[in-house]
């Protein structure tokens, strides 16, 4: 099936997708701040420039988009029907990079909490945010 957009339109649409300060990330940050947790964002000193770093707790929070990070068995992740091989390679590369960064952070002594976009949907939001607090404090 051919793409329904012209290449210029598709390029513009893709350029509007953010990698930082996404809605799920901001949701987690606001919750943490409201509950008294202070953090730094996208630290260039740490592998992979993690989304949220709580230095006091030696904890990293990674907020992953289900599609972009290939969340397995998730209703929000499905390979596109066009350019399937290209997308598969792109997502696999992202997963390998994520795994390497997570391993490097753990080797540096950080606790890593991975939160998926689907966990921050309204039905599971409160449960997930409370789980994050538990993980930070344990």
The pLDDT tens digits of the residues spanning 21-51 come to 789 999 999 999 999 999 999 999 999 999 9
Per-residue model confidence (pLDDT) at position 14:
64
Per-residue model confidence (pLDDT) at position 45:
94
Give the closest residue to 19 by CA, choosing from 68, 59, 72. Answer: 68
Would you give per-residue pLDDT tens digits along the chain (138 residues)? 566 767 777 667 666 666 677 899 999 999 999 999 999 999 999 999 999 999 999 999 999 999 889 999 999 898 888 889 989 999 999 999 999 999 999 999 999 999 999 999 999 999 999 999 999 998
Q: What are phi and psi of 28, to 5 degrees?
A: -65, -45
SS3 at position 133: helix
Domains of the chain, each with CATH number or no CATH: 20-137 (3.40.960.10)
- Is residue 116 within 8 A of residue 71, CB to CB? The reply is yes
- Is residue 97 within 8 A of residue 103, CB to CB? The reply is no
- C-alpha atoms less than 13 angstroms from C-alpha of 78 in its C-beta half-sphere: 5
Per-residue model confidence (pLDDT) at position 104:
97
* H-only helix segments in the chain: 7-15, 23-34, 84-107, 125-137
In order of 59, 98, 118, 119, the CA distances from 124 in angstroms are 22, 24, 8, 6
Predicted structure pTM score: 0.86
């Amino acid at each position: 099936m051919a793409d329904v957009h012209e290449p210029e339109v598709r390029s513009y649409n893709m350029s509007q997708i953010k990698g930082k300060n996404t809605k799920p990330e901001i949701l987690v940050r606001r919750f943490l701040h409201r509950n008294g947790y202070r953090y730094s964002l996208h630290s260039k000193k740490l592998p992979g420039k993690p989304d949220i770093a709580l230095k006091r707790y030696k904890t990293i929070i990674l907020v992953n988009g289900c599609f972009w990070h290939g969340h397995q068995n998730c209703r929000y992740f499905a390979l596109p029907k066009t350019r399937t091989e290209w997308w598969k390679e792109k997502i696999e590369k992202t997963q390998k990079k994520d795994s390497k960064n997570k391993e490097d952070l753990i080797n540096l002594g950080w606790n890593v909490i991975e939160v998926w976009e689907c966990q921050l949907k309204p039905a599971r939001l409160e449960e997930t945010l409370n789980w994050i607090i538990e993980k930070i404090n344990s």
